[in-house]
With several copies, the nearest count.
Chain A
Amino acid sequence: MSQDAVRTLPLVEVEDVAAGTYWLRFALPAGLDCEPGHFFMLSAPSAGGAATMGAPFLGRPLSIGDVAGGRLHFLVRALGRATAWFRSLPSGTPLRLVGPLGRPFALPERPVHRMVAGGIGLAPFFYLARRLRHRQPAARIELLYGERTADAHARLAGPERDLFDLVERCTDDGSLGQPGTVVGMLDGPFEDAGAAWYACGPQPMLRALAARLESMGVEGAQFSLEERMACGFGVCQACIVPRRDPPPAYRLLCMEGPVVDPREVAW
């Protein structure tokens, strides 16, 4: 990371894509070089100094959603104070972005790349698919995407939809796509251990998926995890993930993640 890792960028646009889910877009800063799986810490500029009503105190981690059309995109779900605040901001509001941070996805050469997204875990996969498509034009890119309900399912507009060769949806209540969870979807057509597997989503889903992939004998799956973060660059020691093989008991997600091998995590 270069010394201009702290930037203040004006918000270009907020666009809703599902109930409580929206794109947050910025102009792509010159010289910014980031990989799928990287994340940024977003915060209100000049904490304690200037003037933003309702602004959170700490920054919040957001994965790179996409880099396209000269813009930097984040796909965000409004869950609490900060994610509701971001959504409320008028275009032009300056935000502090620290990053790119963390260890991104590796892009292995494989015939099939399979991404498993639970809820807002969808966020990192647009850019991942875009980069894979670019590097491995012949590879098949699949997205298995689950939400609790139909209205939480993000609309995928033309160019975004076209990043994937297959999009398979499911909902817990069966109101859209297959009924059940993304892990349930694996039964049958997606039991392919030779694919490159990527996953992001809520903890219980990832836990179940990790067990499932392990039983399928999948090697080198890449999961993007979440944990509360104050800094994002290794100083605060907040973002611990329990290790399967202690000691040490934990590792820092912001430095050794957010992309990790699920077999190294004590779920």
Chain B
Amino acid sequence: MVDRLATKCGPLELANPVLAASGTFGYGDSFERFWPLETLGGFVTKTLFLAPRDGNPAPRIAETSAGMLNSIGLANVGWEAFVREKAPRVNALRGSARMLVNIAGNSPEEFGEIAARVEADREAVGCDAIEVNVSCPNVKEGGTNIGCHPGQFRDAVARVRAATTLPMFVKLSPNVADVVPFARAAAEEGAEGVSLINTLYGMQIDTELRRPVLGTGSGGLSGPAILPVGVHWVYKVRAALPELPIFGIGGISTWQAALQYLMAGADAVQVGTASFVDPNACREVLAGLDRWCAMRNTSIGEIVGAAHRVGERAEEPVWTG
């Protein structure tokens, strides 16, 4: 069993390809009551800023067809409380599960600052890698999302790289015309890999109140609704940058969906929203992959990127309509 599930994502050796995604797994200690943390290939913490953040006003979520919107606003306990209160306990529980610390800031400078703190507290925290969440508005520069703005994006990533030698995965936003140049820029700035995708912009209107449901107006769309969008971008990035390790994310709630990501070129996957609805989602995705590999007498390593290896599929322009 270890053999067929064991895999790698860049420098990270993983007992299995299933991780829990940022913002859907707390700091690693929230699912204890359901199953042991060491079950996972790894997990990503909620995005941490240097200072604690309260996040946005309610309502913060809305349900959509096969998905949800959120405008949590990256509420988090802040770096210090994480190091002091969360990391030691989680480290004691996690076994071989990799811990990725997800970080962000309100400006490229702040990305550098928090990364420097992670580097400084590296021993105490014991994390295996950093995931850089560029999907937050640059509050100083009028709110453009850093992850959708090539210049700010490169700047933020470069600052993190300069501050730490930890393996760095950059989590990309799908709210761009083409994710590939951002993946390439991340690689050029020294990222060990990319995580894709984060949420899509979305809004729901409360037709009774005649106003947006979410307190902030718009939010991020996640869940099975966005599965094809994530698979598309993983496939495109893999095709363009075959050597760049990828965490596939977006709408995974079944092992079949995870398999789609792996075949599209993800080295491992992260399960997000599905864990809210079914706290066992990660475990079931993993169990399904295990059964499938056993039945086909194959392994995760053999599956990764399989959809790129069929015949002579030309890289056609994307025709829709």
Contact = CB atoms under 8 A, between A and B. Distances in A.
Direct contact of A and B (CB under 8 A): yes
Interface of A: 1-3, 5-6, 43, 45-49, 51-53, 56-59, 81, 96, 98, 227-231, 233-238, 240, 246-250
Contacts, number: 124
B33 interface: yes
15 contacts: A43-B278, A47-B277, A47-B281, A48-B224, A48-B254, A51-B224, A98-B279, A227-B59, A228-B61, A231-B275, A231-B279, A237-B72, A240-B60, A248-B54, A250-B54
Given A56-B63, A233-B33, 7 more contacts: A6-B280, A46-B278, A49-B254, A57-B64, A58-B68, A96-B277, A231-B276
B66 interface: yes
Main secondary structure of the interface of A (DSSP, over half): loop
B217 to A, nearest CB: 16
B167 interface: no
A237 B75 contact: yes
Contacts of B273: 230
Residue among B34, B46, B62 with max Cβ neighbours from chain A (10 Å): B34
Interface string B25-61: 1100011011100000000001000001011011111
B68 A1 contact: no
Interface of B: 23-26, 30-31, 33-35, 46, 52, 54-55, 57-68, 70, 72, 75, 223-224, 251, 253-254, 256-257, 273-281
Residue among B46, B59, B65 with max Cβ neighbours from chain A (10 Å): B65
B223 A57 contact: yes
A238 B70 contact: yes
Contacts of A227: 58-59
B60 A5 contact: no
A236 B277 contact: no
A56 B64 CA distance: 9
B54 A230 contact: no
Nearest to B75: A237
B54 A236 contact: no
Contact of A236 (B61, B224, B256): B61
Main secondary structure of the interface of B (DSSP, over half): loop
Residue among A6, A81, A249 with max Cβ neighbours from chain B (10 Å): A6
A91 B61 CA distance: 31
A48 B65 CA distance: 7
Residue among B59, B68, B256, B276 with max Cβ neighbours from chain A (10 Å): B276
Nearest first, the 3 A-B pairs at minimum CB distance are A48-B253, A48-B224, A51-B65
Given A48-B224, A250-B54, A81 B63 contact: yes
Nearest to B56: A240
A115 to B, nearest CB: 26
B66 A235 contact: no
A58 B59 contact: no
Contacts of A98: 278-279
A58 B52 contact: no
Contacts of B64: 51, 57
Given A1-B33, A6-B280, A57-B66, A235 B275 contact: yes
Contact of B34 (A3, A52, A53, A229): A3
A236 B276 contact: yes
Contact of A235 (B30, B35, B254): B30
Given A51-B65, A236-B61, A59 B276 contact: yes
Residue among A1, A48, A231, A249 with max Cβ neighbours from chain B (10 Å): A48
A37 B256 CA distance: 34
Contacts of A43: 277-278
A157 B54 CA distance: 46
Nearest to B283: A6
B291 to A, nearest CB: 14
A249 B54 contact: yes
Nearest to A58: B63
